């Protein structure tokens, strides 16, 4: 009797084992089919699913799904980079083509024998301005490539931020006069910062140029000393900009106003962010009503 009982128990266990193997076989077959569909339609967010409770299978499936997520994230980032690159190429082409077309037009006008000396001088001045704009644009792209290059490390030292701001502001005195902007500048001395002097000059220069380009009636710049940082604050009134624009202000491919004939890429502020990040500081921009504000933290 006991022998028959053992045989029955073993038979039941065998049937259960075979059932589990068959179930596992169908589960693996189903997962393989799901995986094939996901590979064929990789743009979807589908993951491989299973009904089995086998710990090893569940653990293996979890790793497969993790790999799928990583591949999909990489694909999305690649698509985003490709889209940004196309936009950058479009913007670069516009920035180079616009002054070139204008220069070509005025050059052809110079061949008109009926032009007076005053008109000829005016056209030559316009051509020179367009050439300056074109040179500045090319220089900015070159500067970005230099900043991104690991072969161009910044040399940090103790730098007087207040002195650099004053010197740079004086350089743009005539530009502020022409723009009829009311200018307010902090005059209180501040502790030295730890930074690359040339980089700080470029940061202040770009912030001022950005204000000259978009400020309506005023521009202010000041600083506040904190525990580990000196915080530079600049502000100017602005029109035609919303919070979404400000959130993208530091993007290399962003143009603040696509409709402007002299529409500039956001290269100036992009360079500011790159240089600040490389020196261990950080920068932020925000919009308060119709006032654009930018703050830069420099390490002391």
Range of the structural domain that residue 34 is part of: 2-76
Distance between CA atoms of residues 248 and 293, nearest Å? 14
Residue 198, pLDDT score: 87
Residue 82 lies in a domain: no
CATH of residue 185's domain is: 3.30.565.10
Residue 59 and residue 189 in one domain:
no
Are both 135 and 243 inside the same structural domain?
A: no
Taking the whole predicted model, whether its pTM rises above 0.75 is answered as no
Q: Which residues contact 42 (CB under 8 A, 6 or more apart)?
A: 71, 72, 75
Alpha helices in the chain (DSSP H): 2-40, 55-109, 117-148, 161-171, 173-179, 197-214, 243-247, 267-278
260 plus 172 within the same structural domain: yes
- Would residue 171 count as lying in a domain? yes
Rounded to whole angstroms, the Cα distance separating 182 from 62 reads 62
Cα dist from 14 to 9, 28, 54, 55, whole Å: 9, 21, 18, 21
Give me the pLDDT at residue 220, please: 96
pLDDT in 10s for each residue of the chain, 300 residues: 567 777 777 777 777 777 677 777 777 777 788 778 877 777 677 888 877 777 877 788 888 888 888 888 888 888 887 887 777 677 677 767 877 888 888 888 888 888 888 888 888 888 888 887 788 777 767 776 677 665 567 788 999 999 999 999 988 888 898 889 999 998 888 999 999 998 899 899 889 988 998 899 999 999 999 989 999 999 999 988 888 888 778 877 666 554 443 444 456 788 899 899 988 999 999 898 889 999 999 999
Q: Per the structure, how many domains does the chain have?
A: 3
Q: Is residue 106 part of a domain?
A: yes
Domain membership flag for residue 125: yes
Residue 133: CATH number of its domain: 1.10.287.130
Residues in the chain, overall count? 300
Q: Are residues 168 and 273 in the same domain?
A: yes
Q: Do 144 and 271 belong together in one domain?
A: no
Same domain, 184 and 259: yes
- Tell me what pLDDT residue 33 has: 80
Co-location of 286 and 195 in the same domain? yes
- In a domain? residue 102: yes
Q: Is residue 85 part of a domain?
A: no
In a domain, 130, yes or no: yes
pLDDT at residue 266 in the model: 58
Q: Is residue 81 part of a domain?
A: no
Same domain, 288 and 217: yes
Last residue of some domain: 76, 103, 118?
A: 76
């Amino acid at each position: 009797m006991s022998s028959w009982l053992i045989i029955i128990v073993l038979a039941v266990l065998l049937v259960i084992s075979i059932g589990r193997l068959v179930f596992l076989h169908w589960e693996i077959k189903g997962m393989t089919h799901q995986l094939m569909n996901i590979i064929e339609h990789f743009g979807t967010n589908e993951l491989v699913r299973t009904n089995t409770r086998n710990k090893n299978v569940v653990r293996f499936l979890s790793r497969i799904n993790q790999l799928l997520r990583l591949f999909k994230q990489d694909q999305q980032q690649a698509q985003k980079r490709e889209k940004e690159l196309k936009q950058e190429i479009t913007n670069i082409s516009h920035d180079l083509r616009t002054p070139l077309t204008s220069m070509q037009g005025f050059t052809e006008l110079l061949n008109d024998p009926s032009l007076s000396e005053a008109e000829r001088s005016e056209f030559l001045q316009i051509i020179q301005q367009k050439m300056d704009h074109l040179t500045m644009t090319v220089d900015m792209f070159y500067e970005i490539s230099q900043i991104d290059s690991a072969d161009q490390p910044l040399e940090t030292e103790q730098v007087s931020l207040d002195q650099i701001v004053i010197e740079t502001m004086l350089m743009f005195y005539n530009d502020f006069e022409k723009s009829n902007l009311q200018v307010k500048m902090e005059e209180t001395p501040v502790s030295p910062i730890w930074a690359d002097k040339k980089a700080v000059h470029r940061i202040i220069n770009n912030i001022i140029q950005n204000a000259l380009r978009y400020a309506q009636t005023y521009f202010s710049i000041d600083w506040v000393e904190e525990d580990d940082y000196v915080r530079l604050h600049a502000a100017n009134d602005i029109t035609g900009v919303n919070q979404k624009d400000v959130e993208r202000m530091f993007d290399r491919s962003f143009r603040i106003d696509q409709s402007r004939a002299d529409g500039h890429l956001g290269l100036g502020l992009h360079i500011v962010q790159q240089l600040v990040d490389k020196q261990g500081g950080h920068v932020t921009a925000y919009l308060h009503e119709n006032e654009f504000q930018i703050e830069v933290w420099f390490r002391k």
